[in-house]
């Protein structure tokens, strides 16, 4: 099967996935073994509160498995960044721990890489399983992000990807803390290929991305990749100012020429409230950007590794970029 030996890494973020991990590790390691004899799985336990840690400790001796236990839940984007910081292969797969991303597609992705693609991502064939508000919301988000932008972020792309080592290095070199990975994949560029796929249903448990978490992610994406909300607001302000000027002129003329005073306590109050609302919304939008600038300025690490287990055969040529001092601990934490 192998045309030449390739060292394969996999990044798998896991938050409360205890029930899915045995299945995932069995399927993934079998698929990887069929593709190469040099592989590693970098699994990030993103501060899980279920039995994920205990389940993973039972795999402590599994060859090829690298586990990073975060000190708390930092979110999927941080988990992906940590994974990428620790991989050492020539190619890197990224996939979810809930078996929604079929491992059977990995050989096709790898052959696309062998044919010259530096990034291969999978695009959902349809989104019929999603509620209408989610589809419309995501359409609006990507329209806003992509409007007038040099970098186009594909809308239906998921996180199931193959990245060449060069792409991994480029992503790791990006210093920002507010990370919207789908945008960053597009931003770094490289020869990219999209393949169609139909995601499987989650094996156990339920999605972590609903309500506030989804809104947060959308806001991160929007503020990180677009200044459009700020600009739209300037345009809106200009239009409103022009309209008010016109109306002001009309009212003045009516008063001075026709001697017709404009009645309207109601109009004034409605106008005041409208403009009060507009000002608050614009302050809110400014605040959204400012808050993120503040996060960047603080320069806190994007994640903290409490404990690391490393059984990777690729361990000798390490290119760990953002490891914290505590992350080099290779034994069980005394308080764990
Ligand atoms: N995940 C994570 N940290 C979080 C939330 C999710 O590492 O704070 C992982 C989760 O374990 C899964 C992947 O991210 O492997 C995708 O999450 P989920 O299945 O909940 O999202 P969906 O597939 O519904 O978009
Ligand atoms: Mg999922």
Mean pLDDT of 296-312: 90
pLDDT higher at 203 or 10: 10
Q: Does 216 have pLDDT greater than 50?
A: yes
Pick the CATH number of 7-208+301-334 from 1.20.80.10, 3.90.550.10, 3.10.20.30, 1.10.10.10: 3.90.550.10
Mutate to test the pocket of ligand 1, among 41, 98, 122, 135 (most ligand atoms within 8 A of CB): 98
Residues with CB under 5 A from ligand 2 (ion): 96, 98, 100
Residue nearest to atom 24 of ligand 1 (CA): 207
pLDDT higher at 166 or 227: 166
- Which residues face 69 on adjacent strands? 45, 307
DSSP of 289-310: HHHHHHHHHHT--S--EEEEEE
What distance in angstroms lies between residue 98's CA and the mean position of ligand 2's atoms?
A: 6
pLDDT higher at 22 or 274: 22
What distance in angstroms lies between residue 285's CA and the mean position of ligand 2's atoms?
A: 30
pLDDT at 330: 40
pLDDT at 321: 40
Residue nearest to atom 8 of ligand 1 (CA): 75
pLDDT at 2: 46
**pTM confidence score:** 0.81
Mean pLDDT of 10-33: 94
What distance in angstroms lies between residue 265's CA and the mean position of ligand 1's atoms?
A: 54
Q: What is the pLDDT of residues 88-113, one digit of tens each?
A: 999 999 999 998 899 999 999 999 99
| Per-domain boundaries in the chain | 7-208+301-334, 228-298
pLDDT at 4: 60
Residue nearest to atom 19 of ligand 1 (CA): 207
What distance in angstroms lies between residue 189's CA and the mean position of ligand 2's atoms?
A: 26
pLDDT at 225: 84
Task: Name the strand (E) or helix (H) holding 68.
Answer: strand 65-70
211: left (phi over 0), alpha (psi -120 to 50) or beta: left
H helices present in the chain, as ranges: 21-35, 52-57, 76-86, 106-114, 132-146, 165-172, 181-188, 212-225, 228-256, 265-298
- Is residue 39 within 8 Å of 32, Cβ to Cβ? yes
What distance in angstroms lies between residue 108's CA and the mean position of ligand 2's atoms?
A: 21
């Amino acid at each position: 099967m192998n045309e030449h030996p390739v060292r394969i890494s996999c990044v798998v973020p896991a938050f409360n996935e205890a029930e899915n991990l045995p299945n995932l590790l069995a399927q993934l390691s079998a698929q990887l073994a069929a593709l190469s004899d040099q592989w590693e799985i970098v699994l990030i336990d993103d501060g899980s509160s279920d039995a994920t840690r205990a389940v993973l400790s039972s795999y402590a001796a599994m060859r090829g498995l690298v586990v990073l236990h975060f000190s708390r839940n930092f979110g999927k984007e941080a988990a992906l960044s940590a994974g990428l910081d620790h991989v050492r292969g020539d190619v890197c797969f990224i996939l979810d721990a809930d078996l929604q991303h079929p491992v059977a597609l990995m050989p096709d992705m790898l052959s696309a890489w062998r044919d010259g693609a530096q990034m291969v991502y999978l695009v959902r064939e349809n989104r019929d399983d999603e509620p209408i508000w989610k589809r419309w919301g995501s359409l609006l988000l990507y329209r806003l992000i992509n409007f007038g932008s040099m970098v186009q972020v594909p809308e239906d792309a998921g996180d199931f990807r193959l990245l060449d080592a060069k792409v991994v290095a480029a992503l790791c070199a990006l210093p920002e803390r507010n990370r919207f990975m789908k945008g960053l994949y597009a931003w770094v560029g490289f020869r990219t290929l999209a393949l169609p796929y139909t995601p499987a249903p989650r094996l156990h448990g339920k999605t972590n991305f609903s309500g506030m978490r989804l809104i947060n992610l959308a806001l991160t994406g929007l503020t990180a990749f677009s200044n459009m909300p700020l600009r739209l607001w300037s345009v809106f302000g200009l239009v409103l100012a022009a309209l008010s000027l016109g109306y002001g002129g009309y009212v003045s003329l009516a008063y001075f020429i026709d001697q017709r005073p404009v009645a309207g306590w109601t109009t004034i109050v409605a106008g005041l409230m409208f403009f009060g609302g507009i000002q608050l919304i614009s302050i809110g939008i400014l605040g959204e950007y400012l808050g993120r600038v503040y996060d960047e300025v603080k320069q806190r690490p994007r994640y903290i590794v409490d404990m690391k287990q490393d059984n990777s055969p690729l361990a000798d040529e390490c290119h760990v970029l953002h490891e914290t001092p505590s992350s080099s601990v290779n034994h069980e934490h005394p308080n764990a």
